[in-house]
Structure 1
Amino acid sequence: RSGTSGTGGTAAAGANTGASGGGSRPLIAVAGGPAFTFAYAEHAELLRAAGAETVSFDPLRDETLPEGTRGLVIGGGFPEVYGPQLAENRRLRSVVRELVAAGGPVAAECGGLLYLCRELDGARMCGVLDGTARMTEQLTLGYREAVAVGDSVLAPAGLRVRGHEFHRTALSPGAGDEPAWGLVRPERRREGFVGGPYGNVHASYLHVHWAAAPSMARRLVEGCRTCPR
Structure 2
Amino acid sequence: MEYPRVMIAAPRSGSGKTTITCGILRAMINSGLSLCSYKCGPDYIDPMFHRTVLGIPSGNLDTFFTDDSTTRSLFVQSYSGDMAVIEGVMGLYDGIGGVETQGSSYDLARALSVPIVLVVDAKGAGRSIIAQLKGFLDYDEYHLIKAVILNRTSVAFGNTLGVIIEKELGIKYLGTIPEIKDQQLSSRYLGLVMPEEVPEINKKIDDLAEVITENLNLEELKKLASEAAELDIIKEDSSSKFVNVGVVLAVARDEAFCFYYKENLEMLKEAGVKLVEFSPIKDAQLPDGVDGILLGGGYPENYMKELSSNKSMKASIKNAIDSGMPILAECGGFMYLSDSIKNSDNQIYDMVGAIKARVEWKGKLVRFGYVTVDMGELQIKGHEFHYYDTDNNGDCCVATKPFGGKSWNCIHSKNGGYIGFPHLYYPSNPEFINNFVEVMKNYGGH
SS at match of 1:30: strand
Report the CA distance shift for 1:117/1:201 in structure 2 as closer, same or farther (over 3 A): farther
Letter of the 1:107 counterpart: L
Q: CA deviation at 1:162?
A: 2.0
Normalising by structure 1, report the TM-score: 0.81
Pairwise mapping of residues 106-185 of structure 1 onto structure 2 (< 5 A)? 106-121=327-342, 122-139=348-365, 140-148=367-375, 157-173=376-392, 175-176=393-394, 179-185=395-401
Structure 1: where are the runs of 5+ without partners? 7-22, 149-156
SS at match of 1:66: coil
SS at match of 1:34: coil
Other-structure match for 2:74: none
1:40 maps onto 2:256 in alignment: no
* 8 A Cα contact 1:100 1:200, kept in partner: no
Task: Give the structure with the higher percent strand.
Answer: 1
Q: Equivalents in 1 of 2:313, 2:435: separation in Å?
A: 26
1:58 maps onto 2:279 in alignment: yes
Q: Equivalents in 1 of 2:437, 2:417: separation in Å?
A: 13
Q: Which of 389, 395, 409 does residue 190 from structure 1 map onto?
A: 409
SS at match of 1:80: helix
* 8 A Cα contact 1:181 1:191, kept in partner: yes
Deviation track 1:79-132 (CA, whole Å, cap 9, x = no partner) reads 111111100110011000111111110000100100110101121111000101
SS at match of 1:37: strand
Q: Equivalents in 1 of 2:357, 2:411: separation in Å?
A: 10
* 8 A Cα contact 2:247 2:444, kept in partner: no
Normalising by structure 2, report the TM-score: 0.42
* 8 A Cα contact 1:102 1:228, kept in partner: no
Pairwise mapping of residues 207-226 of structure 1 onto structure 2 (< 5 A)? 207-226=423-442
1:74 maps onto 2:295 in alignment: yes
Q: Equivalents in 1 of 2:292, 2:302: separation in Å?
A: 25
Q: CA deviation at 1:228?
A: 6.4
Q: CA deviation at 1:227?
A: 1.4
Q: Equivalents in 2 of 1:201, 1:88: separation in Å?
A: 26
Q: CA deviation at 1:137?
A: 1.1
SS at match of 2:388: strand
Deviation track 1:187-214 (CA, whole Å, cap 9, x = no partner) reads 121012113xxx3441011111101111
- Runs of 4+ with >3 A deviation: 2-6
SS at match of 2:283: coil
Q: Equivalents in 1 of 2:361, 2:430: separation in Å?
A: 33
SS at match of 1:220: helix
CA RMSD of aligned residues (A): 2.1
Q: Equivalents in 1 of 2:320, 2:264: separation in Å?
A: 21
Other-structure match for 1:84: 305
Q: CA deviation at 1:184?
A: 2.7
Q: Equivalents in 1 of 2:298, 2:380: separation in Å?
A: 21
Letter of the 2:412 counterpart: F
Report the CA distance shift for 1:180/1:108 in structure 2 as closer, same or farther (over 3 A): farther
Q: Equivalents in 1 of 2:245, 2:285: separation in Å?
A: 23
Letter of the 1:217 counterpart: I
Letter of the 2:251 counterpart: V
Q: Which of 188, 195, 204 does residue 420 from structure 2 map onto?
A: 204
SS at match of 1:138: coil
Letter of the 2:371 counterpart: R
How many residues of Structure 1 are paired with residues of Structure 2 in the alignment? Answer: 199
Deviation track 1:19-51 (CA, whole Å, cap 9, x = no partner) reads xxxx94111011110001111122222112112
The structure with higher relative contact order (CA 8 Å, sep 6+) is: 1
Letter of the 2:254 counterpart: G
Q: Equivalents in 1 of 2:272, 2:396: separation in Å?
A: 24
SS at match of 1:69: coil
Q: Equivalents in 1 of 2:349, 2:262: separation in Å?
A: 29
